[in-house]
Each structure stands twice: as C-alpha cells, then as structure tokens.
Amino acid sequence: MAKIAADEAKTEYRAVTRFLIVSPIKLRPVADLVRRKTYPEAVSILENMPHKGAGLIKKTVVSAASNALNQDKQLVEDMLYIKSILIDEGPRMKRIWYRGRGRADMLKKKMSHITVVVDQIANAAASSGTASRKKSPSKRAGK
C-alpha cells in the first residue's frame, strides 16, 4: 500500500455511528435532505426537523466535522460540506409478542448504521468538472 505524499494531504474525514435502534427506512429520507450540503446548512436543517432520525444524523455529522477540525487545524467549519451519508441496515432484535389462543408473533426491531463523510469545499470544486462547464439551453426555452 502506497503512503500518502507530504504535499497530498488527507481531505476526507468520516464518522460512523452503529447499532442505532431506528429503521433505515425512516433515516434515509432525512439523510437525503442534507446530502451534498455545506456543514452549517446541514446542521441548521437537521436542528429544525422534528424527526428522531434528524437528531441521530446531526450527532454523526457534528462528529465527522469535529474529526476534520481536530485532524487539520487549518480548517474552518464553513470550508466543509457533506460528501456522502450512508444509511446501512444493522442486525435486528427479535422479540416475542404473545397473542391469544397460545400464539405468538415476532416483533423485529430494526437497527441502522450511519456513515458520514465530510470534505473540503475547495477540493470538491477542483475535482468535479461540472463547475467550469456551461449548461446548453434547452429546446423548450423559446416556447
């Protein structure tokens, strides 16, 4: 495995929260709202959402940003953006729910893993070629 050169500094920073007792289906729509947003904008969106998952994702986003600020002392919060958020499915806790007539149902409590990767905004503009490319006008623009 090749070592990273001294001039090529690490730009991606991540945080992982595992074994959260909330369904991934409930977390994914919240994660979609803050993906590819700047760090301050993402935190303000998550603080104003009423969902349980918003608080859990916010904790992981703040942790990833503090990891970035600790590892690179020259960074500022405004320089960070959310590069990716992964919501993975964890194990399921199985509980027995006793019913009438000697029957039983299985209650499956789903767990999730959240992975947040933050990156510097300057690196995102340099690596993507879409910033310098102009959009061509559509055919329907004149109608």
Residue 131 lies in a domain: no
Measuring CA to CA, which residue among 53, 46, 134 is closest to residue 82?
Answer: 46
Domain membership flag for residue 102: yes
Per-residue model confidence (pLDDT) at position 7? 46
Mean pLDDT for the chain?
87
Residue 34 included in any domain: yes
Query: Does 141 score more than 70 pLDDT?
Result: no
| Residue whose pair of structure tokens reads 């070629």 in the numeric block | 129
Cβ pair 82, 116 in contact under 8 A: yes
Report, in this order, helix, strand and coil percent for the chain, each rounded to 5.
Answer: 40, 30, 25
Which H or E element spans position 80? strand 80-98
Confidence band for 135, pLDDT divided at 50, 70 and 90: low
Residue 23 lies in a domain: yes
Least confident span in 41-50, 106-115, 129-138: 129-138
34/119 Cα distance (integer angstroms): 14
For residue 122, what pLDDT is reported?
A: 78
**pLDDT score recorded for residue 51:** 96
CATH number for position 45: 3.90.470.10
5: in domain: no
Is residue 134 assigned to a domain? no
pLDDT per position as a tens digit, 59-110: 999 999 999 999 999 999 999 999 999 999 999 999 999 999 999 999 999 9
- Number of domains present in the structure of the chain: 1
C-alpha 103: how far from its chain's center?
41
Q: What average pLDDT score do residues 30-46 get? A: 97
Residue 28's pLDDT band, with cuts at 50, 70 and 90, is very high
Pairing mode, if any, of strands 104-120 and 80-98? antiparallel
Dist CA 75 CA 133 (whole Å):
28
Domain for residue 141, yes or no?
Answer: no
Residue 34 structural domain: 13-123
